[in-house]
Chain A
Amino acid sequence: MIGALDMLLLAALAAIPLSALFATTRSGRWLLVAAYAVQFGLLIMLQPATAAHSALSFQLLGNAVGWQMDALGWYFAVITIGSAGFAAAYAAGEWSEVNGRLGLSLRWLYAGLQINVLAMLLLLASGDFVSLFIGWELTSWAGLILMLLAGGDAIRASLRYIVYAIAGGMTVFAGLVITQAAVGSLQFDALHAAAPSLGTGRLWAIALLFILGFSVKMASMPFHLWQAPAYAYSPAPGSSFLGSISARMGLFGIALVAIKLIGLAQLDRLSLVTDLVDLRGLLTWVAVFTAILPTFVAMRQNDARLLLGWHGVGQGGYMLLGVIIADRLGSAGGLLHVFNHATYQAILLMAVFAVIHRTGTADLNRLGGLVTRMPLTFLAMLIGIIGLAGLPPMNGFVSKWMIYRALIVDGHPLLFVATVISTLGTVLSVYKLLHNTFLGQLRLEHEQIHEAPWSMTVPMLLLCVVVFVTGAAPGLVLQYVAAAQQAIGLEPVRYILGGIESPTGSLDMLWITAILFAGFGIGAVLFYLIGGRSRRVHQLDNYAGGHFLTADVRYQYSDNFYAGLMHRIRPWYRGSFEWTESALVSALGAASTLARGFFEQANPAQWVLVGTTVIMTWVMWYALG
């Protein structure tokens, strides 16, 4: 019997050839956007409260393999299809026409996007470890399609990505076979049931292998180096889709295997030397460092795409932190942040790519003053950075507030301070992004620039509405977050439409938003009533000390932003992770040279004799021992 989940998967599968077929015409691309709407509709029809089973199930090599979607997978699936739909719509009009003319394969772009969606749906709907691994690997390889499309710099980034991704995948693979050896089955239930009786050694191995494997996808430290360039250089819709949701598949994996199947009680058994540090404690610090360091790396970037890419890595740290704290409020905050980040990150990347579409560059030292030329894009980016910085009334504030609150309530003052440092870095760097792109002096060569086409601005602005509405009324999303929490065996958050209800401190965004707007209103009234006047001057008019400067003089420039701060914090960055990575690659190269030397020697026959001698020695050693 074909169920709702099968319909969804079939629709996603059928949309792949359609994507390859229709991607080359404008109307065809809008049809593909409609296909995402259909998939979204089919997803909504699935009941998130109970797990939806697929009719698709096999007996493969003695394992029952099947698919089912519970509230956790459903929540991630909503974000996945939503991100893909908005990305497809953004590119449907002029963007594809221009980039198609420049040689981008639109067929591969749209088909690749749909392949990613199908792979992720398969992963999110996995019902056992085999289907989990199938989905995991397909997701990893599907991402590569979108990354490779841009060519050039993207190829290097993609190769780096795939080595990391295979390493992560193989770690998961090791976890899978060791789980099978330990509990005798690859069913989720088997691990869940056997986890309490497993010895700590086995449990360490299983938990660590899965968490490490999933962390590579999340780009948690120290596996963070690959992600920003791999996502940033993908074509606009690919970049916005990957940046929104792709890395979160790792979080899904951790929530599923570590929290749901192994369980918090078992995770707490895993302590390191002298019980001072346990696995969860270690992971919270990994999460916090992932939130801090990449954020400050982002601040140093001069390519707007890379800046956002590094923020994606950092925000992943917040999500992991919330999920690993795993109390009612923190885990809800972590899961909610997945949705919130997906929405504002998509806006920000779309805005940056709109600027690229018009100016041809994302170099923050070569932009500026575009606010009058692209006001809608400016507005979208403004809303996006308010979300990313975690300021009210946008949705990013809510999830971050919940994580902060959980840290304080649970008594983690150091972690709290660390997240505040991360937020400081976020605020500084998003201001750099906004300022260097839209504020300051307009460059002469951008005088003729005008707003991005509606096909690009409308998706951005729609997402802005989502960011604002779910910021003012987070309860809309929190109901699904609560269901997802329940699905992985955590206590669900107590939510109201405006936010959180809790004896230790409630949050009602409706009030906060109202007060904010009232404040703005009063300010505006005061400004306009009490003689506030402004005078417009042309953007290219420059004066210094009353003296007129011609427009080609770079007067208010934005080169080497935050030079002072960078000077202060630079000694802390010695590129130690880059160094470690390249040292590993060099070590591999050296080992490879050695191995080649063995095969390429002039007189290989001697190795027969050496080999025989060594093996005979081994035999004799065996005889004696």
Chain B
Amino acid sequence: MTDVTLAVVLPLLGAFLLPLTAHRGLHWLGMLLGPALLALAALLLFATWTAFESPYAIALGGFAPPLGITFYVDLLGLLFALAVPLTSLLLWPGGSDEAAIRQQSLTLLLAAALTGMALSGDLFNLYVFYELAAVASYGLAASSATGPAFVAAFRFLLISALGSVVTLLGIALIYFKTGTLNLAHLATLSERLADPQGLAAFAMLLIGFGVKAELFPVNAWVPEVYAATGKRVAALLAGLASKLAVLAVVRILLLVFPHDEARQLLLLLGTLGVLSGELAAWQARDVTRMLAWSSIGQLGVVLVAFSLPGKAGLIAGVTVAMHHLVVKSALFLLADRWGGAVDRLKGAATASPLGAALFVLFALSLLGLPPLPGFWSKYLVLSGLAEAGSGMQHLALGVILLGTVIEGGYLLRIITRLYAAPERDIVPPAHRFPNLFASGLLALLLVAGAILIDPLWQGLNTLAASATDTQVYVQTVLGGKGITR
């Protein structure tokens, strides 16, 4: 059995080693170190994935749960953990100057923290990794070192810090009511949290973790940050970081707050997110802000999906989240050279026909054109909502469909500009090869997903069956099946 904790430790180590290489004439080492560590982490996680038989827990430092720090390894956690080094590798900021190395170091830090979030088995650790990821994100948001980037990063910092305080209050409240922060232990005590105080604690956690998950109403940092930073960073934050924050919320929801009220709160905020994001995107005048707002809308759909009870909700949520991870990362990469007003995109397809074609493919999948995976993810969410069938869920169904119509309007506005004749022969610059390559890979993944949709769904069924079973989690962590390190 391979040791998944290394997938957290290695990038963390790299994050601190990397700046040292800059000063000692070891540029070549610096260039290699980050990608190598990420690749190693990915390999480790992949090996664990292939060797996976049943969920297990790791008690770090040899302290048995619920006292010690626990890592919990199941398919859901592994899937998201695996996504972290792979996406970071794909979106790796190249270069060997000092600014680039700082950015690389922060990327490694982010990757370590996000992997930790995916595997963490107790609430406080989850919070610590989340904070670590947040700090890395502030740095990344400011990494393009322009005025707007600093302002945007500062906005982000303010919102996020306030959110963290609220989260900490929520954690304190939970601790006050139950006396533990171990998720498995909490799962056995979830009855105690089935009251207004418990719901308040959940709401506080939601607000804090929601900042990175682009949850309404704590997502006002999103458009400015994505517009001001490099598009690789935007892709990393919108595609990857947001998903891990969502995963944290989902874990808490499944284990600690399996109550209808908590789901309803998530459903409500998700629906508002869809509505506000898509509406704002309708009038966006530049591509990045449009994508940022659209990402808020999409994450609203993700949260709505996870608010559905049982296996169906988890399957739908994971599908939408993974689809959004692939599509939004690729769209941000493609938007790299397409800054400024949408009208200035005229003729971009002549400069980079492949880039424009990929943009169309991803946009169509985002809109849910069958048989692309976007359709299936939307189908899972909508059929879940129709099945659940309360008034609020039908409303959410209507809002998601309305959001798709609006989304179609603005995405097509971009696409028609791409293929319009250039004005006065001014054509936006062609794509840089690394971006085109990365989004090409993602496109292959998307097409493969369309072909393999049924096996993937079968796999997700297995994943969801174990992830939604609280008993398995409790038994694994507290029942002595854990591994001590």
Which residues from chain A sit less than 8 Å from chain B, CB to CB? 58-62, 130, 133-134, 137-138, 141, 148, 151, 155, 158-159, 162-163, 166-167, 170-171, 173-174, 177-178, 180-181, 588-589, 591-596, 598-601, 604-605, 607-612, 615-616, 618-620, 622-623
Q: Are B454 and A599 in contact (CB under 8 A)?
A: no
Q: Are A618 and B163 in contact (CB under 8 A)?
A: no
Q: Are B162 and A609 in contact (CB under 8 A)?
A: yes
Q: Are A61 and B454 in contact (CB under 8 A)?
A: yes
Considering the complex, give the chain B residue whose CB is closest to the CB of A159.
B412
Residue contacts A-B, CB under 8 angstroms, 9 given: A137-B368, A151-B420, A177-B387, A181-B383, A592-B280, A605-B162, A608-B159, A615-B207, A619-B196
CA distance A133 to B371 in the complex (A): 10
- B378 surroundings in chain A (CB, below 8 A): 173
At the interface with chain A, which of B44-52, B213-221, B238-246, B470-478? B213-221
Q: Which of B282, B402, B412 contacts A589 (CB 8 A)?
A: B282
* Chain B 437-467 residues near chain A, CB threshold 8 A: 453-454, 457
Considering the complex, give the chain A residue whose CB is closest to the CB of B456.
A61
Minimal beta-carbon separation of B289 from chain A (angstroms): 9
Interface centre among B155, B163, B405, B453, by most chain A C-beta atoms within 10 angstroms, is: B405
- A607 surroundings in chain B (CB, below 8 A): 159, 217-218, 220
**Contacts A61-B454, A596-B280 hold; do A159 and B162 have CB atoms under 8 A apart?**
no
Render B401-412 as a binary contact track against A, CB cut-off 8 A, 1 for contact: 110111011001
Q: Are B408 and A599 in contact (CB under 8 A)?
A: no
Judged by a CB distance under 8 angstroms, whether B132 is at the interface is: no
Q: Are A61 and B221 in contact (CB under 8 A)?
A: no
* Chain B 371-391 residues near chain A, CB threshold 8 A: 371, 375-376, 378-380, 382-383, 385-387, 389
- A137 surroundings in chain B (CB, below 8 A): 368-370, 375
Which residues from chain B sit less than 8 Å from chain A, CB to CB? 155, 158-159, 162-163, 166, 195-196, 199-200, 203-204, 206-207, 211, 217-223, 261, 265, 275-277, 279-284, 293, 364, 367-371, 375-376, 378-380, 382-383, 385-387, 389, 397-398, 401-402, 404-406, 408-409, 412-413, 416, 419-421, 453-454, 457
- A130 surroundings in chain B (CB, below 8 A): 370
- B163 surroundings in chain A (CB, below 8 A): 608
CA distance A527 to B203 in the complex (A): 93
Considering the complex, give the chain A residue whose CB is closest to the CB of B419.
A148
Minimal beta-carbon separation of B398 from chain A (angstroms): 7
- A616 surroundings in chain B (CB, below 8 A): 200, 203
Q: Which of A60, A174, A594 contacts B401 (CB 8 A)?
A: A174
CA distance A192 to B9 in the complex (A): 59
**Contacts A148-B416, A166-B408, A622-B196 hold; do A596 and B283 have CB atoms under 8 A apart?**
yes
Q: Are A178 and B420 in contact (CB under 8 A)?
A: no
Q: Are A592 and B279 in contact (CB under 8 A)?
A: yes
Q: Which of A59, A138, A181 contacts B454 (CB 8 A)?
A: A59
CA distance A591 to B402 in the complex (A): 13
CA distance A601 to B223 in the complex (A): 11
Q: Are B162 and A155 in contact (CB under 8 A)?
A: no
**Contacts A134-B371, A170-B405, A604-B221 hold; do A589 and B203 have CB atoms under 8 A apart?**
no
Minimal beta-carbon separation of B197 from chain A (angstroms): 9
Q: Are A61 and B203 in contact (CB under 8 A)?
A: no
CA distance A612 to B280 in the complex (A): 22
CA distance A229 to B409 in the complex (A): 17
Q: Are A180 and B386 in contact (CB under 8 A)?
A: yes
CA distance A141 to B131 in the complex (A): 44
- B203 surroundings in chain A (CB, below 8 A): 612, 615-616, 618-619
Q: Are B401 and A612 in contact (CB under 8 A)?
A: no
- Known contacts A170-B405, A598-B276; 20 further A-B pairs (Cβ under 8 A): A60-B457, A61-B380, A61-B457, A137-B369, A151-B420, A155-B416, A159-B413, A163-B412, A166-B367, A173-B379, A174-B401, A177-B379, A588-B282, A589-B283, A592-B282, A598-B217, A607-B218, A608-B163, A612-B166, A612-B203
**Contacts A137-B369, A148-B416, A607-B220 hold; do A171 and B401 have CB atoms under 8 A apart?**
yes
Q: Is the interface of A mostly helix, strand, loop or mixed?
A: helix
CA distance A148 to B412 in the complex (A): 11
Q: Are A611 and B222 in contact (CB under 8 A)?
A: no
Q: Are B405 and A166 in contact (CB under 8 A)?
A: yes
Interface centre among A163, A592, A607, by most chain B C-beta atoms within 10 angstroms, is: A592
Q: Are B280 and A595 in contact (CB under 8 A)?
A: yes
| Closest 7 A/B residue pairs (Cβ) | A604-B220, A623-B196, A166-B408, A595-B279, A595-B280, A177-B386, A181-B386
**Contacts A163-B405, A181-B386, A607-B218 hold; do A588 and B279 have CB atoms under 8 A apart?**
yes
**Contacts A61-B376, A138-B370 hold; do A174 and B453 have CB atoms under 8 A apart?**
no
- A620 surroundings in chain B (CB, below 8 A): 196
CA distance A180 to B312 in the complex (A): 14
Q: Are B220 and A598 in contact (CB under 8 A)?
A: yes
Q: Are A611 and B207 in contact (CB under 8 A)?
A: yes
**Contacts A155-B416, A166-B404, A608-B207 hold; do A173 and B382 have CB atoms under 8 A apart?**
yes
Q: Are A593 and B283 in contact (CB under 8 A)?
A: yes
Q: Which of B275, B277, B284, B453 contacts A61 (CB 8 A)?
A: B453
Q: Are B196 and A608 in contact (CB under 8 A)?
A: no
- B406 surroundings in chain A (CB, below 8 A): 588
CA distance A604 to B153 in the complex (A): 12
Q: Are A180 and B166 in contact (CB under 8 A)?
A: no
Minimal beta-carbon separation of A531 from chain B (angstroms): 62
Q: Are B370 and A598 in contact (CB under 8 A)?
A: no
**Contacts A180-B383, A593-B283, A610-B217 hold; do A60 and B162 have CB atoms under 8 A apart?**
no
CA distance A420 to B163 in the complex (A): 68
- B155 surroundings in chain A (CB, below 8 A): 604-605
CA distance A422 to B415 in the complex (A): 39
Q: Are A174 and B370 in contact (CB under 8 A)?
A: no
Considering the complex, give the chain A residue whose CB is closest to the CB of B408.
A166
Considering the complex, give the chain B residue whose CB is closest to the CB of A144.
B412
- B277 surroundings in chain A (CB, below 8 A): 595
**Contacts A159-B409, A604-B155, A622-B196 hold; do A170 and B279 have CB atoms under 8 A apart?**
no
CA distance A607 to B118 in the complex (A): 28
Minimal beta-carbon separation of A99 from chain B (angstroms): 16
Q: Which of A60, A600, A612 contacts B207 (CB 8 A)?
A: A612
Considering the complex, give the chain B residue whose CB is closest to the CB of A614.
B217
**Contacts A167-B405, A594-B279, A622-B196 hold; do A599 and B367 have CB atoms under 8 A apart?**
no
Q: Are A133 and B370 in contact (CB under 8 A)?
A: yes
**Contacts A137-B369, A608-B166 hold; do A599 and B379 have CB atoms under 8 A apart?**
no
Interface centre among A177, A601, A616, by most chain B C-beta atoms within 10 angstroms, is: A177
Minimal beta-carbon separation of B276 from chain A (angstroms): 5
Q: Are A608 and B162 in contact (CB under 8 A)?
A: yes
- A609 surroundings in chain B (CB, below 8 A): 162
- A608 surroundings in chain B (CB, below 8 A): 159, 162-163, 166, 207, 211, 217-218
- B217 surroundings in chain A (CB, below 8 A): 598, 607-608, 610-611
Considering the complex, give the chain A residue whose CB is closest to the CB of B388.
A181
CA distance A130 to B221 in the complex (A): 39
Q: Which of B204, B368, B370, B408 contacts A612 (CB 8 A)?
A: B204
Considering the complex, give the chain A residue whose CB is closest to the CB of B222.
A599
Interface centre among B279, B368, B378, by most chain A C-beta atoms within 10 angstroms, is: B279
Q: Are A605 and B280 in contact (CB under 8 A)?
A: no
Minimal beta-carbon separation of A591 from chain B (angstroms): 5
Minimal beta-carbon separation of B312 from chain A (angstroms): 11
- B370 surroundings in chain A (CB, below 8 A): 130, 133-134, 137-138
CA distance A591 to B465 in the complex (A): 41
- B402 surroundings in chain A (CB, below 8 A): 170
CA distance A595 to B289 in the complex (A): 13
- A611 surroundings in chain B (CB, below 8 A): 207, 217-218
Interface centre among A130, A137, A609, by most chain B C-beta atoms within 10 angstroms, is: A137
Considering the complex, give the chain B residue whose CB is closest to the CB of A134.
B370
Interface centre among A180, A589, A599, by most chain B C-beta atoms within 10 angstroms, is: A599
Considering the complex, give the chain A residue whose CB is closest to the CB of B394.
A178
- A138 surroundings in chain B (CB, below 8 A): 369-370
Q: Are B158 and A605 in contact (CB under 8 A)?
A: yes
- B207 surroundings in chain A (CB, below 8 A): 608, 611-612, 615
